Amino acid sequence: MQLLQDIKLFVLSKHFVKHAGLVILFYLSTILMTMLYLHISTNHGEKITVPNFAGMNSEKAIALIEDLDLAYEIRDSVYRPDLPQGTVISQNPLPTSYSLLYTKSGRTISLRVSKNSDLTEMPSLIDKQIKFAEGILTNRGLKYIIKYKATSEANGAVLEQLFRGKKINGGVKIPIGSRITLIVGQNDVGEPILTPNLIGLSYSEMLATLRSLGVPFSIYCNDCSSLEDSLSARVIIQSPEYLSDSLTIPKSTPFSITIQKNEGVDIDNQ
């Protein structure tokens, strides 16, 4: 009982009441200051309508964002040749008209804008048949025009490839949508020729033979991963086939040649 009496006297003492009051005052002051800070720092009650920037020029959109006391960032550039350069494609956050949400000053608007140029590798089309070359250029997003040149070389095959009037090698980076000029061999010599036997010939021997005949041709190698592989390869399949020394074909007949790396290939069993 004496212990309870002592506790009661301590709690009712001026010393305890004074310090308890100070603790409560400090606690309430801390809560009040925190609420005031959050109210100021979060712009409580402020509502800024987010405009719809889609389809707007990015410079105009940025000016409007800054007028609203907002920040901006260009999040990404997307290749869109159908749109003017720098057109806003999408934004984050979405416009208030769609999301029904508002923002506050200082917040960041992310923009995704269009660009009209992107790079791709120029393919090597020399000696390729025109239809094959057209397909490759189309797949890479390149445009082309065809000019024919009288020649005794491969009929219907690409002799030169030009970009902006100058020869261009395969592997050079150029903008998607660029226009390539293909110089294609054309001859009207239709006299028959003897079908060559190309099976077993090296890449260089086969190439020299076909070029000397002036016939169109395409070459395929499934296991060649480098130029060195192609140069060391030998012919395993040819079309049209060699059947006899006396069989002739029109000079305009296209040849399809399959080569394989020369790594112990048994040509007789192909």
- Cα-Cα-Cα-Cα dihedral sign, residues 114, 117, 121, 124: positive
Question: Domain containing 159 — which CATH number?
Answer: 3.30.10.20
Of the candidates 170, 186, 202, which is a domain's last residue?
186
Asked whether residue 52 is assigned to any structural domain, the reply reads no
**CA 45, CA 36: separation in Å to the nearest integer?**
13
pLDDT tens by residue, the chain, 270 residues: 666 666 666 556 676 667 767 777 777 777 777 666 655 555 555 789 999 999 999 999 999 999 999 999 998 888 888 889 899 999 999 999 988 898 888 899 999 999 887 889 999 999 898 888 999 999 998 999 988 787 766 778 899 999 999 999 999 999 888 999 999 887 755 567 889 999 999 999 999 999 888 888 888 887 887 778 888 899 999 988 888 888 887 777 788 899 988 754 444 433
**Tokens (6 digits) for 126:** 């020399």
Is pTM, for the whole model, over 0.95?
A: no
123 in helix, strand or coil?
Answer: coil
Read off the pLDDT of residues 240-259 as tens digits, 9 standing for 90 and up: 888 888 888 777 778 889 99
Residue 109's domain comprises: 58-115
Q: Residues 145, 181: one domain?
A: yes
**CA 251, CA 126: separation in Å to the nearest integer?**
19
Q: Residues 213, 236: one domain?
A: yes
Asked whether residue 68 is assigned to any structural domain, the reply reads yes
Number of domains present in the structure of the chain: 3
Amino acid letter, residue 219? I
